[in-house]
Amino acid sequence: MMPAAYLGILLIALLGMPLFLVLLSAAGVGFSFAGLDLQVLGIELYRITESTVLMALPMFAFVGFLLSEANTAQRLVRLSQAVLGWLPGGMMLIALLTCAFFTMLTGGSGVTIVALGALLYPALTQSHYDKTFSLGLLTTSGSLGLLLPPAIPLILYGIIAQQMDVPGVDIVDLFMAGLIPAVLMIVVLYIYGLWANRHQPIAKVPFEWQECRAALREAIWELLIPVIILGGVFSGVLVLSEAAAVTALYVLLIETLVYREISPRALMRALRESLVMVGGILLILGAAMAFTNLLVFNNIPFILFDLVSEHVSHPLVFLIILNLLLLVLGAFLDIFAAIVIMVPLLLPLALQYGIDPIHLGVIFVANMQIGYFTPPVGMNLFIASYRFKKPITELYRATLPFLLVLLGVVLIITYVPWLSLVLVR
């Protein structure tokens, strides 16, 4: 009877049933057959509100949507070009750093491609970069900032780990752990770009103090955003939720009163879109935690570990399988849905193999970051295809070299845990 019920849920899910309802239905069926009162579902949904870190999610999301409504992208590009344009591969480095910084602030990979694509693609081609190279660079760079604080995927991972009572998982530690891997990705892509364009007569922008000062003066208010977040949290003056509230208020004030670029309509749009996104995440998170407790109640993590350990005895082999699984999931699932669904299953397994939960969080987000542009259905591929008006097959070809380079970096991040843990442990 129970397998038939789950089969029915799977069929409805394939027909388009919302993910949170799929998880709630599966949990409800499981608890019913276990003889437990279905009030436990409501308790599980309510339990996530006990997390004080959870308050940071809507405020950081609001900051991201607010910045995407303003002209932040143009100011960042101007400043980067003024400061870095004279370097070898300067325009390429500008694209990498600007995309990473903008994604860090907004938390949205696709938003970065849409906001910066119109600025950076012509600038790259005018600097004599190949069009295919420029397309691949911008499509892959859109997700580079997901490991940099305030990284919403890492916050979500930390919330789930804390709800599962996993010791040693602090959000600030996750932020620290993501810094070196994120910088490593940017550096390796820059080195690859220099090598790939070694025979191209790349144009440089001469350095001018006057332009540099003007660009810095224009962007200074937004450059202080990460200073507020990192300085407040890492100094211990602010907890994460307080830092999120201060940042949201600061961004609201500078964009409406200093830059005066946010109209009341744009403000309401940013507020509405951020709340819709966070509301969706919270619904899925609450349903997933209910489903996770059902799995724990039925000892599924331990059964799964026994099953896996029969065929996988070494942690390195487990990590290889984990990388492959996450890359596939990243190509088909949104990063937030993947974290909420898979972390409760994979985290207990990883702990049994002796993998540090902080390191696992970095591995998880790094893999999902690549999944955004992994063929055939990586989200960034379709966004870039629409933004640059190019066939999706052309985006496949353009991103393939960058995909292979970043896969190599992810393997280094996976098998050299020191990179993630040196600032933490």
**Chain position carrying tokens 């949904």:** 45
Q: Model-level pTM?
A: 0.81
Tell me the per-residue pLDDT of 156-166, one tens digit each, with 9 for 90 and over: 898 888 888 88
Burial (CB count within 10 angstroms: exposed 0-12, middle 13-18, buried 19+), residue 292? buried
In the predicted structure, residue 5 carries a pLDDT above the cut 80 = no
Tell me the per-residue pLDDT of 184-214, one tens digit each, with 9 for 90 and over: 999 999 999 989 887 776 666 777 888 889 9
Give the model's pLDDT for residue 305: 67
In the predicted structure, residue 350 carries a pLDDT above the cut 80 = yes
Nearest to 150 by CA among 268, 62, 236: 62
Tell me the per-residue pLDDT of 269-295, one tens digit each, with 9 for 90 and over: 988 888 887 887 777 777 777 777 777
Q: Residues with Cβ < 8 Å from 130, sequence gap 6 or more?
A: 197, 200
Give the model's pLDDT for residue 35: 72
Calpha distance 49→253 (Å, rounded): 28
Q: Are 222 and 33 in contact (CB under 8 A)?
A: no
Q: Which SS3 state, helix, strand or coil, does residue 297 take? A: helix
Q: Residues with Cβ < 8 Å from 216, sequence gap 6 or more?
A: 79, 82, 83, 223
